[in-house]
Structures are given as structure tokens and as C-alpha cells.
Chains A and B, each alone.
Chain A
Amino acid sequence: MTETEKILARGCGREKVRPGEIVEVEVDRAMIHDNNAALVIGNFGKIVDASVRDPKRVAFFIDHHSPSTSTKAVKHQSLMRRFAKEHGIGLFYDCGQGISHIVMLEEALAGRGKIVVGTDSHTTGEGADGAFATGIGATEMAAVLATGRIWLRTPETVRVELAGHLSQNADVRDLMTQVLGRFGPEGANYCAVEFHGAGAEAMSREERVVCCVLSMEMGAKNALFASGEDTAECSRTERFDLRTVEPTIAIPSLPTNARPLSEVASQKIRIDQAFAGSCTGGLLRDLKKASEVVQGKKVAEGVRFLVIPASRKIYNEALALGYLKILHDAGAVIGSPACGACGGHDAGILAEKEVCIANSPRNMEGRMGAGGVVYLGSTATVAASAVAGHVTGAERD
């Protein structure tokens, strides 16, 4: 069995599960954030005689509108606080604590072999530590709160085999844009994605998060780094040689539209905003890289460079290490830990025809504002573009 199959077999109390089988599993962790909480709580209220089955397994996060930017959003957040108090949900991460996916890893709220569901598609990020983690909707989450269980179709497993190591010029984000480009937007739809090979084993936890979150963009049900080499049968294997990965950009309006950075940079596409943040781009490694690129330089005139650490812990570390000071001196706007900017929920909304370069996961039409367009690249690319005023790489003019 693949790692995913082993986790689901344990979750439903069976020796073995096969792809295609529908199983009912016990949920180890349920994550709900402020963008979907009002619908979850509303649906929960419609369940007759409902009580929260196991409040200790539930975690609430206010990370999409943090702090709130509208009267409706703030009402939903109050509703969350009341609900949590009423039902004894102690794991409550309020405004400014950071992005659910990252804080859950920091606080060890998921972990190897656990079954995690969240009202957010990028819940797949918990697979960095070896959890089966997947996104679900609000109605389903209301039922999970009440029953503690969920049905799942055992997915086929796609194996991504990573050989060698990235060159100094390339980043895991460049690799993943190439992976997404090869699979396409539904290349792994309904599938488990498991990362293997020497290149995968050598990856840091931060790099693993990037891989697991971005697997969602090719449709993955879950994505994870397995605990060791296994030879289980997979429905598909794709191999990537990390030594040959070059800086890569996803052009508008799909994260899978992979193009070599060199090709895009030659067009000198003028930018209005550069954004380093989110669950794929607001990690400590990103703040370090961004500060290295902009050190001693200034953000280009007319460009706003938004830097949003993914969690309070990361913010504090970046502060202590001097990264934030360097970024601030270069002219970056530092936001409080949250994830709203990635989807236009709070900071950094684009006007019509504006262009943004970002290291966040998505660039679908209207993602950061109606009529605005988003290019996706590595943190080095984002920071270099912020300084240049057009889409470019860190080591190019």
C-alpha cells in the first residue's frame, strides 16, 4: 500500500484499502477559518440536536480577514469566538496569529499518519509532515464537527520522483511550477501525490510545505512526503531532475501556465505590485531570500512591495534576524501575519489592468482583483522584480 492508503486503512480500521474504495474514516483534526466559518456554523445549527463530537480535535483560525476589513467579516469572526466558547473549542488562533496551514505545522496540530480536513483547499500543506490532509466545504465540515467522521474515496496515488538537487539559481517554487506545468490543472485530480527520491528526502520542511500546498493546483486530494522508501504500486510516476530546473514563471491565469523566466523577463512586463507572502511564500526562508535580494536597494518607483510573514513565529524570527529591517528600509510594506492578500480578501487588492508578481499559490482570473493579472514565481524573482519594476530574475538585469 502507498503511504496514503496505509493512513486511510488505519482511519477506517481495516487491514487494506484499494484505490476507488469508498471508506469512512475518523477525523484526527478539523480546521476551520474565518472565510468559511459562518457557513459552517450556520449549517451546524441546522443539524438536529447537534453537539461538537470532540472539541479538542477542532482548530479555529482567523487568517483570511485579519484584522477584519468589513462589518460582515467582523461579525463572522465574533460568531466564531462565541461558537468556540460555547462548544469548548480551545484551539482558537485569532487575528495576527498567522496562516492556518503554517501554524498547524508549527504547533504540531497534524503530524505523520494523521487524517486532517480543513475548510481550505491548501490544507494539503499538512502533508509536509506526513499527514493525509485535504480540503472540504462548509456543509461537510458541519457534519464532521457533529459526527467526527467523513467518507472518502481512496485515491489513486501519483508518485513524483525527484532526483538530484536544485542549483543555486533555482528554487523549489521553480520546480513546482514545472511539475504543475507537466501535470496541468487536473493532472492529479482526485489523486494522492507522494514525493519520493533523493531530492525529496533532502528537502527542508519549508520546501516540503511548498510542494504539498502547490500539489492542490493540479487537483491533488492530498499530497505528502512518505516516511521512507516504499515500492507500492502507483497509478502514475513522473520523474524530475532537480539539477536541470531553471527559474520558472506561471503566467496569467493558471498556476500551471509554466514558462521559463528568461522568456517572460525578456518582455519587460511592468508591475504595479510585488507580493511575498501566503502559505507558499511567507515562510522564514522567503523573508531571508527577499531581504538578500533587496539589501541596499530600493523598491522601484510606483511599485508596492507587500511582504506578509506567514505566522507570528516567523515574523518574530525575521525581526530578530534583521530581515524585516532590510525589507522595510528597501521600501517594502510589511503586513501582519495572515493569508488574505493571496485571494484579495484584505490587503493588496489589484485595480483593473494592474499587474502583480507573487509567490503565493494562485493567479486565476480576478484572484487578486477584477481585471488585475498575476504572475507567479519564486521569492527571488518577486523581490528582484520589486526592485526592477518589471518581471525579472534575481541575477538578471
Chain B
Amino acid sequence: MNRCWKLGDNVATDEILPFQYMVLTEPSELGLHVLENVKPGFARQLAKGDILVAGSNFGYGSSREHAPLALKGAGTGAVIAKSFARIFFRNCINIGLPAIVCPAAANAISEGESVELDLKLGKISVICRDSGSKSTSYAFEPFPPFLLEYLLNGGLINTLNRTSQTQSNTRIQ
């Protein structure tokens, strides 16, 4: 069962992945340093599939894709926020990390709760830790179909490759 971690407003990419680790390229290595200066030890606390629940303008600032890669490398399953800085949002989708805009959920979900996501329907359900049953749910605007495809394929590059494969298969036939 995943766990939600709460973060505040305007968390900058400078904070998500400090500059000295930008020479790293492997998500698993980047993941060891996620939010290192502002939440020491966070990388060790995060478990695979955990969800970050942030305030407004998450991923503010620098275009470094190392920031969402570090989150992904550390095991983050998705980020829910009141809003995202635009380059960070694009970067998340392009690497296949769901970035979900849902102010109601970002306000209501408490640290330690578990959630289930339905990307196709645009639904976040809070799971009761004791019974495992779904309690409150929140709706978010579903992704445009082409972006949903990026997320389901695991990112932009996989999608490009699938599309070109489909096209070449069509040409052969």
C-alpha cells in the first residue's frame, strides 16, 4: 500500500535535486539525493509507488529533468499538486511520471494516507489503511488522449518508437 507525503508551495527544482548532482544521469543514482537539503533522509523514507502531494507551483524554476528523474528513481509513483510549474509538468509526462493537478485532493489528503489513481477516468481514491476499502474520492481533469498515451507507454521516447513501429508495419503491409 502506497503512502502519501505532503510538501508545500513553490518547491523549486533547485530543492528537488540540488545542483551538485546534475552531473548524474541514472534515475536510481539521482534518486538517492531527492530533496536532500530540505528534507534530509527523504530518499531513504520513500518507498516504491509512494505519492507526493504538493501545494501550488510544484517544480518551480530550472528546466532540469534531473528533478523529476530523481523523484522517479526514488520510487515516486505520481505527484499530485494544486498546480505545477509548466516545464516540470511537461518533463514528468515525458518521462512517464504522472503529474496530477487536483487542488481538492492536494488540500484534503493527509501525510501517511494511501491513494489509488485511475489515470484514464481522472480519479483519486483515498484508501482506508485498516479495511483497505476506498473512502473519499476526488476527480481531476483527465489527460488529453495523446498525453495519457505517453504515461501509459512509460514516456515520450517509448511512444515515439511505438508510433514509428506501427507506421513501418503499416508500410510493409
Contacts and interface: CB of A to CB of B under 8 A. Distances in A.
B60 A364 contact: yes
A122 B95 CA distance: 22
Interface stretch (A139-147, A170-178, A288-296, A319-327): A139-147
Contacts of A393: none
A301 interface: no
Interface in B117-167: 144, 146, 155-157, 160-161, 164-165
Contacts, number: 123
A136 B38 CA distance: 25
B62 A366 contact: no
A121 B90 CA distance: 12
B91 interface: yes
Contact of B23 (A73, A366, A367): A73
Interface string A30-43: 00000110110011
Which of B23, B56, B57, B85 counts the most chain A CB atoms within 10 A? B23
Interface string B42-84: 0000000000000011001111111011000000000000010
Contacts of B85: 186, 189, 219
A370 B25 contact: no
B1 interface: no
A72 B23 contact: yes
A143 B25 CA distance: 18
Interface stretch (A46-54, A105-113, A261-269): A46-54
A212 interface: no
B157 A189 contact: no
A219 B65 contact: no
Interface in A66-103: 70, 72-73, 76
B62 A343 contact: yes
A79 to B, nearest CB: 10
B10 interface: yes
B71 to A, nearest CB: 13
A190 B89 CA distance: 11
A362 interface: yes
Contacts of B18: 366, 370
Size class of A's contact patch? 35 or more
B66 A39 contact: yes
B90 A140 contact: yes
A119 B63 contact: yes
Given A72-B23, A121-B87, A49 B164 contact: yes
B25 A39 contact: yes
Contact of B65 (A39, A146, A343, A371): A39
A254 interface: yes
Interface in A136-177: 136-140, 142-143, 146-147, 151
A345 B64 CA distance: 13
A365 B14 contact: yes
B83 A186 contact: yes
A367 B22 CA distance: 13
B70 to A, nearest CB: 12
B14 A364 contact: yes
A136 B90 CA distance: 8
A125 to B, nearest CB: 13
B156 A139 contact: yes
A146 B14 contact: no
A202 interface: no
A344 B156 contact: no
29 contacts: A36-B63, A38-B25, A39-B65, A39-B69, A47-B160, A70-B23, A73-B23, A121-B61, A135-B63, A137-B64, A137-B68, A139-B65, A139-B91, A142-B157, A146-B160, A186-B60, A219-B57, A219-B60, A219-B86, A254-B10, A345-B22, A362-B61, A364-B14, A364-B15, A364-B60, A365-B15, A365-B38, A367-B14, A367-B19
Instruction: Please list the 5 inter-chain residue pairs (A to B) with the smallest Cβ-Cβ separation, ordered nearest first.
Output: A72-B23, A137-B91, A364-B12, A137-B65, A186-B57
Given A42-B25, A47-B157, A344-B19, 4 more contacts: A185-B57, A362-B14, A364-B61, A366-B19
